[in-house]
Amino acid sequence: MALLEQVPKMIQLIHVSKRYDQRSALSDVSFEIGKGEFVLLMGPSGAGKSTLLRMLIGAEQPDEGQIFVHQKNVTMLRRSEIPYLRRKVGTVFQDFRLLPKKSVFDNVSLPLLVQGISSADIRRKVTEALRAVGVDHKRDQLPAGLSTGEQQRVCIARAIVNGPVVLLADEPTGNLDPALTSEIIELFKLINARGTTVVVATHDPLVMEQVNRRVLTLSQGTLLPERRVMG
Amino acid sequence: MWTNRATTMVAIVTTAFTLACVGVFLLLYVNLLAAAGWLQDDVKIMVYLDERLVSDSVAEIEQQLRSDQAVASLLFISKEQALGEFKAQFPSESHLLEGLGQNPLPASFVVALSPPFHSPDAIYRWAERVRQVAGVSKVDYNQDWIDALAKVIHSIELVAIGIGVILSAAAVTIIANTIRLTLFARRDEIAILRLIGATTSFIHIPYLLEGAALGALGSALSLVMLKFMYELFRQQMRATGRFAGLDNLIAFLSPSVCLALIALGMGLGFAGSLVSIRRFGEAKA
């Protein structure tokens, strides 16, 4: 923890609670994640992992508490400011969420397109991102023509193409076999090694085995005592 | 628009039919208004002069009337001309005047007012003012006819506005539904765009433009349909020989009105999109 105090905070939750009707999704959750950390957010389905990630990008608001991402108070952001937060936070989804009628290149270029980046810069950055995840040779194909692992790589390329400070991944290996899971985790480690803070929400023990990092565990919306996994 | 070709085509054609109905009523309105305008142009005001007025004073009144900005045209009718007209119009009654020994008919001016002074109030005020002029014995015009004509014009305007509003609302609804279908079909794409940092305007502007384009295309198509119906109607009138000459009096909408109709379609399309986007946004919020 002494090391954490020396690095700038990238994510901070202070007494965050969220309820849906009578069910508590998160209850008094507080933690900090420093710049450049790789954190696993573990817990079974329904533990509140997805809710927490959605809160980090302003897609949900807590009933109580405050959330800071990259020194911005997400709970205080106006609706018009949320897109600018999301440009600093890359998101990877379990179901990939790729546009089926657009090519790999077009899918990955979307985050740059919405920021009004020039076509030349888009070409350069998309090529870099596709090379980083190893699917540059599939750039002209439609998502349906890719394997599951390749689709997840494209999703990761889209999340990192504009150089986010934080990468959030919600069950990124949920649809992958053990071999592909290892490949994707290695990819996250590479991205993290370049300085991006990575938060991976998963219930997959295989992921935990492969990551020698800090683990935050949620159980029924409550944060359990923190632990560090030694790989 | 290209992605949902069938929906887009249906929307354009339906909007075209709706706006063509607006156009038919607009065409009727413009022509009825023109006809009413001709009748108003035909309204003549008789300014009768005093019996004892000398010719210098008549010239003075004529000069005064000619310099009046409300007066569009002026015709002097002398006592002799008035008598001649009376005899020509009522030959069987002319002996009545001969028995009087002298011509009892006064000299007069027949005045037509310019269009800005065609309202019943303006005619009344003008007649009252002229009545005060020295040498004018009487100012006469058909008040009932002018009032009735003004009422007819007002009714035409009210009906046209009412029908225009109802049909415009229908066009907005049609386009709003089309855009709603498009938004629904692309809900996943919109959700992804939101998650990767697209601003609201980045997401909304294409749909607003699509609505405006739908409205403009529908409006342009409605004008083509209207022009076709108009020419067919004129051809039928000529072919049957009925209402001969009337076909030349019926005018099509002027280029500026056509442009205004396209702009209206564009505006209605934009409004339709806005309605859908607001509802869609609220549903997703």
Task: Give the distance, in angstroms, between the CA of residue A7 and the centroid of all CA atoms in the same chain.
Answer: 20
- Average pLDDT of every residue of chain B: 83
CB contact under 8 A, A111 and B192: no
Q: Find out whether A163 and A112 touch, Cβ atoms under 8 Å.
A: no
Burial B189-224 (b: 16+ CB within 10 A, else e): bbebbbbbbbbeebbbeebbebbbbbbbbbbbbbbe
Residue ranges of E strands in B114-208: 136-140
The confidence score (pLDDT) of residue A1 equals 47
**More reliable by pLDDT, B35 or B261:** B261
pLDDT in tens, B144-194: 777 787 788 788 888 888 888 888 888 888 878 877 887 887 888 889 999
More confident residue, B222 or B282: B222
Report how far residue A141's alpha carbon sits from residue A144's, in angstroms, rounded to the nearest whole number: 8
- Distance, in Å, from the CA atom of B285 to the CA atom of B169, rounded to the nearest integer, reads 27
CA–CA separation, B3 vs A101, rounded Å? 10
User: Which residues in chain B are closer than 8 Å to A59, comparing Cβ atoms?
Assistant: 195
How far is Cα B189 from Cα A143, in angstroms, rounded to an integer? 14
Task: Report the chain A residue with the minimal C-alpha distance to residue B192.
Answer: A97
Which residues of chain B make contact with A99, given a CB cutoff of 8 A? 188-189, 192
ipTM: 0.87
Inspect the interface and report whether the beta carbons of B196 and A57 lie closer than 8 Å: no
Contacts B191 to A, Cβ<8 Å: 97
Which residue in chain B has the smallest CA separation from A82?
A: B197
Would the pLDDT of B82 be above 50? yes
Is residue B186 within 8 Å of residue B1, measured between CB atoms? no
Predicted confidence at residue B2, as pLDDT, reads 60
CA distance A141 to chain B (A): 18
Q: Nearest C-alpha of chain B: how many angstroms from A97?
A: 7
Of B96-105, B134-143, B204-213, the range with the lowest mean pLDDT is: B96-105
Q: Distances from the Cα of B219 to the Cαs of B9, B37, B200, B266, in angstroms? A: 13, 28, 28, 8
β-bridge pairing A9-20 and A166-170? unpaired
**Predicted confidence (pLDDT) per residue in A195-228, tens digit:** 999 999 998 888 888 877 899 999 988 999 887 6
DSSP code for A200: E
Chain B partners of A158 at a C-beta cutoff of 8 Å?
Answer: 196
* B 162-221 → A contacts, CB under 8 A: 188-189, 191-200, 202
Q: How far apart are CA B47 and CA B130, in angstroms?
A: 8
Beta strands in B91-165 (DSSP E): 108-113, 136-140
Contact A150, A73 (CB under 8 A): no
Instruction: Name every chain A residue with its beta carbon within 8 A of the beta carbon of B193.
Output: 110, 114
Q: Mark yes or no for CB contact A57/B195 under 8 Å.
A: yes
Chain B closest CA to A42's CA: distance in Å? 23
CB contact under 8 A, B197 and A83: yes
pLDDT tens, residue by residue, A140-170: 999 999 999 999 999 999 999 999 999 999 9
Q: pTM for this one?
A: 0.69
Tell how far CA A10 is from the center of its chain.
Answer: 13
* CA-to-CA separations, B51 to A44, B162, B254, in angstroms, rounded: 113, 52, 50
Q: 130-189 in A: which are within 8 Å (CB) of B?
A: 158
User: Quick check: A8 pLDDT over 60?
Assistant: yes
In whole angstroms, give the CA distance from residue A111 to residue A28.
33
Distance, in Å, from the CA atom of B15 to the CA atom of B9, rounded to the nearest integer, reads: 10
Please tell me if residue A214 touches chain B, with a CB cutoff of 8 Å.
no
Closest-CA residue of A relative to B191 is A97
In A, minimum Cα distance to B197 occurs at A83
Q: What percent of chain B has pLDDT over 90?
A: 13
Distance between CA atoms of residues B19 and B42, nearest Å: 34
CB pair distance less than 8 Å for A99 and B191: no
Structural domains of chain B ordered from first start:
5-38+148-284 (no CATH), 44-141 (3.30.70.3040)
**What are the structure tokens assigned to B108, written together?**
């007069």
Which residues in chain B have Cβ-Cβ distances shorter than 8 Å to A143? none
Quick one: pLDDT band at residue B121, thresholds 50, 70, 90? confident
Give pLDDT tens digits for A17-37: 999 988 889 999 999 999 999
Q: Contact B234/B250 with Cβ under 8 angstroms?
A: yes
Pick the residue of B196, B201, B278 with the most A CBs within 10 A to test the interface with A by mutation. Answer: B196
Q: Please say whether the beta carbons of B178 and B7 come within 8 A.
A: yes
Query: Taking a C-beta distance cutoff of 8 angstroms, is the pair A115, A87 a contact?
Result: yes
Counting one residue from chain A and one from chain B, the pairs whose CB atoms sit within 8 A come to 40
CA torsion through residues B179, B185, B189, B190, sign: positive
Contact B278, B179 (CB under 8 A): no
Mark out the alpha helices in B44-135 (DSSP H runs).
55-66, 79-89, 94-98, 120-131
- Does A186 score more than 60 pLDDT? yes
pLDDT at A11: 96
Find the distance separating the first CA and the last CA of chain A, reported in whole Å: 19
Largest CA distance in chain A: 51
